[in-house]
Amino acid sequence: MQHLWTGSLTKMKAEHTTPVSYTLVDGFHDQEQRSEPLSVNPFIGGQLEIRYSGEMRCVACGRKSKKPFGPGYCFPCFRSRPEADICIVKPEKCHFFETDNPCRDEEFAHTNCFQPHVLYVSVTSGVKVGITRQVNVPSRWIDQGAVQAMPIAVMPNRREVGLVEHELAQTFADKTHWATMLKNQKPEVDLPGTVESVLARLKEMGVDGVLELSDRGTYEFEYPVNQSHEKVKSLNLEKTPTVGGTLWGIKGQYLIFDTGVINIRKYTGYRVEIWGQPA
């Protein structure tokens, strides 16, 4: 195998091609020191190895950390950065208007949260209801390993759509079972039927922004997967600093090896070397 890349792991860039195209990008905090992106698809069927250096650096400030907090932050940044606030994970907990608990960064809020957001129904391990910024369509669905997705409403901000999602979660699933998703078996679910049920609930709730039928096109996704596991084993860089083998495929943010699978996004901020040999 040959040395291919050195950098800090972060979410892979995914392009909606057939099949999906994946690129490894460097998440190092200093943009001038980042390595060039590495296309991963050519290594499917070949050999690929991830070698963890033992060093984790905060993706926001570069501070060394013994472990990541949230998606690749050191503890101080986790406590102060707006990207790491609880409302990013649970938008119904937005506290922008709370005087005794103000937003961490109003400029960030206006740039990211007070922008159009999409409420959607997708098929991952099963059918689920979720939300994403409109600019993240369709990459958000690819990151989740969805095989189908349909936008059903557009709302003006993250808080508003988050409250709707939170209410719908009492009836409809809002999580993906990653191991089931990686078995690469298309779930037998009724996407149109679920969409109609969600639309009926939105009508009961008096939700504005529901898309017309002509604007609710179904997105389809095909992933570059040659082979999948019947029983999925997760690889852990903390326990085994070098992981890899024959790359069977990529789905969501997971690399699927003959030895197991690894969620690249989980290891955001980890400094690694990539070695490999194309198929």
Q: Which residues contact 170 (CB under 8 A, 6 or more apart)?
A: none
Residues 178 and 63 in one domain: no
Could you report the per-residue pLDDT of 107-149, keeping only the tens digit for each?
Answer: 999 999 999 999 999 999 999 999 999 999 999 999 999 999 9
Instruction: State the pLDDT confidence band at 183, using cuts at 50, 70 and 90.
Output: confident
Instruction: Examine residue 106 and state whether it is found in any structural domain, yes or no.
Output: yes
231-249: buried (b, 16+ CB within 10 Å) or exposed (e) per residue? ebeebebeeeeebbebbbb
pTM, two decimal places? 0.95
Average per-residue pLDDT for the chain? 95
Residues 65 and 12 in one domain: yes
Whether the pLDDT of residue 3 is over 80: the answer is: yes
* Predicted pLDDT at 128: 93
Instruction: Examine residue 162 and state whether it is found in any structural domain, yes or no.
Output: yes
Q: Judging by DSSP bridges, how do beta strands 148-155 and 117-123 pair with one another?
A: antiparallel
Instruction: Examine residue 78 and state whether it is found in any structural domain, yes or no.
Output: no
Q: How far is CA 170 from CA 14, 56, 159, 167, in A?
A: 31, 38, 18, 6
Residues 210 and 108 in one domain: yes
Instruction: Examine residue 237 and state whether it is found in any structural domain, yes or no.
Output: yes
Residues 212 and 232 in one domain: no
Residues 213 and 137 in one domain: yes
Q: Judging by DSSP bridges, how do beta strands 13-15 and 21-24 pair with one another?
A: antiparallel
DSSP-assigned beta bridge partners for residue 219 = 149
Could you report the per-residue pLDDT of 242-267, keeping only the tens digit for each?
Answer: 999 999 999 999 999 999 999 999 99
Chosen domain end from 220, 246, 269:
220
Instruction: State the pLDDT confidence band at 210, using cuts at 50, 70 and 90.
Output: very high
Instruction: Examine residue 123 and state whether it is found in any structural domain, yes or no.
Output: yes
Residues 196 and 255 in one domain: no
Q: Which domain holds residue 184?
A: 83-220
Q: What's at 133, amino acid-wise? A: R
Q: How far is CA 211 from CA 36, 151, 197, 279, in A?
A: 40, 8, 15, 44
- Secondary structure in 3-state letters for the chain: CEEEEEEECCCCEEECCCCCEEEECCCCCCHHHCCCCEECHHHCCCEEEEEEEEEEECCCCCCECCCCECCCECHHHHHHCHHHCHHHHCHHHCCCCCCCCCCCCHHHHHHHHCCCEEEEEEECCCEEEEEEEHHHCCHHHHHCCCCEEEEEEEECCHHHHHHHHHHHCCCCCCCCCHHHHHCCCCCCCCHHHHHHHHHHHHHHHCCCCECCHHHCCCEECCCCECCCCCCCCECCCCCCCEEEEEEEEEECCEEEECCEEEEHHHHCCEEEEEEEECC
Residues 258 and 202 in one domain: no
Could you report the per-residue pLDDT of 185-195, keeping only the tens digit for each?
Answer: 777 888 999 99
Sign of the C-alpha dihedral computed for residues 59, 61, 66 and 70 taken in this order = negative
Nearest in space to 25 (alpha carbons), one of 42, 5, 41 = 5
The C-alpha atoms of residue 102 and residue 109 are separated, in whole angstroms, by: 11
Instruction: Examine residue 88 and state whether it is found in any structural domain, yes or no.
Output: yes
Chosen domain end from 184, 199, 220:
220
Residues 105 and 130 in one domain: yes
* Predicted pLDDT at 110: 95
Q: How far is CA 7 from CA 52, 190, 273, 277, in A?
A: 10, 42, 7, 18
Residues 216 and 91 in one domain: yes
Look at the chain and report how many structural domains it folds into. Answer: 2
Chosen domain end from 220, 250, 267:
220
Instruction: Examine residue 108 and state whether it is found in any structural domain, yes or no.
Output: yes
Residues 32 and 119 in one domain: no
The C-alpha atoms of residue 129 and residue 107 are separated, in whole angstroms, by: 29
Could you report the per-residue pLDDT of 56-108, keeping only the tens digit for each?
Answer: 999 999 999 988 999 899 999 999 999 999 999 999 999 999 999 999 999 99
* Predicted pLDDT at 201: 97
* Predicted pLDDT at 190: 87
Instruction: Examine residue 41 and state whether it is found in any structural domain, yes or no.
Output: yes
Residues 88 and 204 in one domain: yes
The encoded tokens of residue 9 equal 């792991």
Instruction: State the pLDDT confidence band at 237, using cuts at 50, 70 and 90.
Output: very high
The encoded tokens of residue 231 equal 């029983």
Which residue reads 């690129």 in tokens?
A: 23
Residues 216 and 230 in one domain: no
